Chains A and B, each alone.
Chain A
């Protein structure tokens, strides 16, 4: 299994509070992604990173920010959590390259976030 961990695995917080989710990898992969999963929507991309300090927005980036100061860590921050951000959050990594295997994304175990 790819070495990807997410912390915390579960979190309950209140509306208006800041929340930071952490993704840590031991694979030294260049690309990292944050997705959210909601019933009826599948997985939707929030932000992604293509290198240290290189990040870009995904489909549902409003209300989220990210940072990547080291290859192995990708942080997702909800500056002021809202109930609409209650979801399961997945981190993924990818070694984008020319070979087929390098196009696969490996996923972390997910974080269930509840905003009351």
Chain B
């Protein structure tokens, strides 16, 4: 069974600085997808960024980028120029690349709470 581990329960960053959130996963599959979700105090789950395992190029979305190390099974999220609105819980999630059935389910890490200091 696949597992996702976020080893940092809490992180803190100064406004305008850069912070990296860690995520490791365990799988025997070669085809899969990885996601970072943001959950602000409003509780809404917001997709931040996604990465397809077959793509070697790291995904980027504006100030958010990932460092995807497939061999090491590592998928860290880097937030550049941190803003107060980035304060939230961040969840790393894994999804099998096999279509249909239970393989479509997301497996989540336990989350990292990010605080942004003004």
Q: Is B62 in the interface zone, CB < 8 Å from A?
A: no
Q: Which residues of B contact A105 (CB under 8 A)?
A: 95, 106
Question: Which listed segment binds B: A43-51, A62-70, A73-81?
Answer: A43-51
Instruction: Say whether A103 faces chain B, with CB atoms less than 8 Å apart.
Output: yes
For chain B, the bracket of interface size reads: 20 to 34
**Majority secondary structure of chain B interface residues (helix, strand, loop or mixed):** mixed
List, in ascending order, chain A residues with CB within 8 A of B111's CB: 42
Select which of B33, B100, B108 is within 8 A of A44 by beta carbon. B108
Q: Is B71 in the interface zone, CB < 8 Å from A? A: no
User: B28 at interface (Cβ–Cβ under 8 A)?
Assistant: no
Min Cβ gap B78→A in Å is 21
- A40 partner residues in chain B, CB cutoff 8 A: 110
Contact residues in B for A109 (Cβ distance below 8 Å): 43-44
Interface size for A (C-beta < 8 A) is: 27
Q: In the complex, are the beta carbons of A42 and B105 less than 8 A apart?
A: no
Interface flag for B72 (CB, 8 Å)? no
CA gap between A42 and B25 in the complex, in Å:
15
Tell me whether A42 and B110 are in contact in the complex, defined as CB-CB below 8 angstroms, given that A88-B43, A103-B33, A109-B43 are known contacts: yes
Question: In whole angstroms, how far apart are the Cα atoms of A3 and B91 in the complex?
Answer: 22
